[in-house]
Amino acid sequence: MAKIKGTVVVDSERCKGCGVCVASCPCDVLALSSEVNGKGYPVVRMTHPDACTGCASCGVICPDSCITVYRQKFE
Amino acid sequence: MAEVEIKAENRVYAKPRLILDNTMHYCPGCSHGTVHKLVAEVIDELGLAERTIGISPVGCSVFAYNYIDIDWIEAAHGRALAVATAAKRLNPDRMVFTYQGDGDLSAIGTAESIHAAARGENVVAIYINNAIYGMTGGQMAPTTLLGMKTATTPYGRDPRLNGYPYKIAEMLAHLDGATYITRQSVHKPANVRKCKAAIKKAFQHAMDGEGFSLVEVVSTCNSGWKLSPVAANEWLEQHMLPYYPLGDIKDEKLDPTR
């Protein structure tokens, strides 16, 4: 059966760790990590990458345009 | 199962082309960044990047010209729609829009806003309403909800002392020159998508010479509201949306015979 999978790439230095993407993800893929960027913000990471469907909700709502979303169909 | 390949043909969402690489000065989670993206996407999709003039206000979004790669004019506080009138009348083939907050459009600039709408200028006003004066430290705005705590209403806004809030979108909808008035929000992905469609419609409206358009975006100011970004989005849904309901308030064509 065909399955659609997605993944996100976060520009860690742009991320301000607001967590709006984490709250917007319908599949609980994202979480704020304990790792911080150059400005001291906790950056967002994929903690359940297998659950990502590439719906782009995180990218659409991100105020700082730091999320790029990729989606691929596997037969 | 195989991993998703990071390559251009699999990319479904990326930073809009017209958003510059400068780090935005906005607080983490501020709605301004999301609305900037929508404006940049709409301008690019309509092919207006070389023909758009933005008028930036005074307020948090004063530096909008540092973030979107189009031509900008910086207006005096509240006077963005007066500057937009001149820009559009002198360059009728250009797309002219203003990007203003509630302190700019509906407080100090109320007169300019009302008269630009009444004249039916073919410009778009993007109006960010977060019910507070964010840049100056969270003071009460005309749009502050009753009972809402701000720096200047520490016990909540009391109508006997501070008066009542008002809805400038509904006020402008009474004017014949204002033909497309809508209220949107960007607190959830579905609302962001609807807001983008509204901004696109308003821009097309202005380019078709159909009169004045206002897109109000009910927004958060998590720093001013003293909440986390996620809690501010929830507060917006619970408290702001009942008073500022979402949807189109007016959607008409300009009627010169009226």
Tokens of B111: 């007169």
Residue of chain A whose Cα is closest to the Cα of B11: A70
The DSSP element (H or E) to which B251 belongs, if any, is strand B247-251
Tokens of B145: 């909800």
Task: Report d(CA A11, CA B24) in Å as an integer.
Answer: 14
CB-nearest partner of A24 from B1, B33, B189: B189
pLDDT score for A60? 96
Per-residue pLDDT, averaged over B91-108, amounts to 96
pLDDT score for A24? 96
Q: Does B238 touch chain A (CB under 8 A)?
A: no
ipTM given for this complex: 0.94
Question: Three-state SS for A19?
Answer: coil
Share of residues in chain B with pLDDT > 90 (%): 96
Q: If you compute the radius of gyration of chain B from its CA atoms, what whole number of angstroms results? A: 18
Per-residue pLDDT tens over the stretch B42-86: 999 999 999 999 999 999 999 999 999 999 999 999 999 999 999
pLDDT bin (cut points 50, 70, 90) of residue A2 is confident
Query: In whole numbers, what is the pLDDT of chain B averaged over residues?
Result: 96
Q: If you compute the radius of gyration of chain A from its CA atoms, what whole number of angstroms results? A: 12
pLDDT score for B65? 96
Task: Report d(CA B168, CA B179) in Å as an integer.
Answer: 14
- The one-letter amino acid code at A29 reads V
pLDDT score for B146? 97
Measured between beta carbons, the chain A residues lying within 8 angstroms of B19 are 65
Question: Three-state SS for B60?
Answer: helix
Which residues, 6+ apart, have CB-to-CB distance to B172 below 8 Å? B113, B114, B117, B178, B181, B212, B214
Measured between beta carbons, the chain B residues lying within 8 angstroms of A7 are 3-4, 6
Per-residue pLDDT, averaged over B26-42, amounts to 97
pLDDT score for B1? 63
- Are A19 and B228 a contacting pair at CB < 8 A? yes
pLDDT score for B24? 94
Residue from B1, B5, B12 to probe the interface with A (highest A Cβ count within 10 Å): B12
pLDDT score for B255? 81
Q: Does B12 touch chain A (CB under 8 A)?
A: yes
- Are B229 and A65 a contacting pair at CB < 8 A? no
pLDDT score for B250? 96
- The one-letter amino acid code at A24 reads S
pLDDT bin (cut points 50, 70, 90) of residue B194 is very high
pLDDT bin (cut points 50, 70, 90) of residue B254 is confident
pLDDT score for B256? 79
Question: Three-state SS for B62?
Answer: helix
pLDDT score for B3? 86
pLDDT score for B127? 97
Per-residue pLDDT, averaged over B125-150, amounts to 96
Per-residue pLDDT, averaged over A1-20, amounts to 93
Instruction: Give the residue from B105, B141, B107, B135 showing the smallest Cα distance to B123.
Output: B105
Residue of chain B whose Cα is closest to the Cα of A59: B13
pLDDT score for B69? 96
C-beta separation of B65 from B54 below 8 A: yes
Task: Report d(CA B212, CA B161) in Å as an integer.
Answer: 34
Which residues, 6+ apart, have CB-to-CB distance to B94 below 8 Å? B51, B52, B53, B87, B88
Task: Give me the total of CB pairs closer than 8 Å, taking one residue from chain A and one from chain B.
Answer: 96
Return the number of other C-beta atoms located less than 10 Å from residue B6's C-beta. 12
Per-residue pLDDT, averaged over A29-54, amounts to 94
Per-residue pLDDT, averaged over A22-32, amounts to 96
pLDDT score for B2? 78
Residue of chain B whose Cα is closest to the Cα of A67: B14
Contacts by A55-58, CB closer than 8 A, 24 or more apart: A55/A6, A55/A26, A55/A27, A56/A6, A56/B12, A56/B13, A56/B189, A57/A21, A57/A24, A57/A25, A57/A26, A57/B189, A58/A8, A58/A21, A58/A22, A58/A24, A58/A25, A58/A29, A58/A30
Residue of chain B whose Cα is closest to the Cα of A2: B1
Q: Which residues pair with B212 in a beta bridge?
A: B178
Q: Does B228 touch chain A (CB under 8 A)?
A: yes
Question: Three-state SS for B109?
Answer: coil
Query: In which order are the strands placed within the sheet that holds A3-10?
Result: A3-10, A67-74, B11-13
- Are A60 and B13 a contacting pair at CB < 8 A? yes
Decide if pLDDT at B201 tops 70: yes
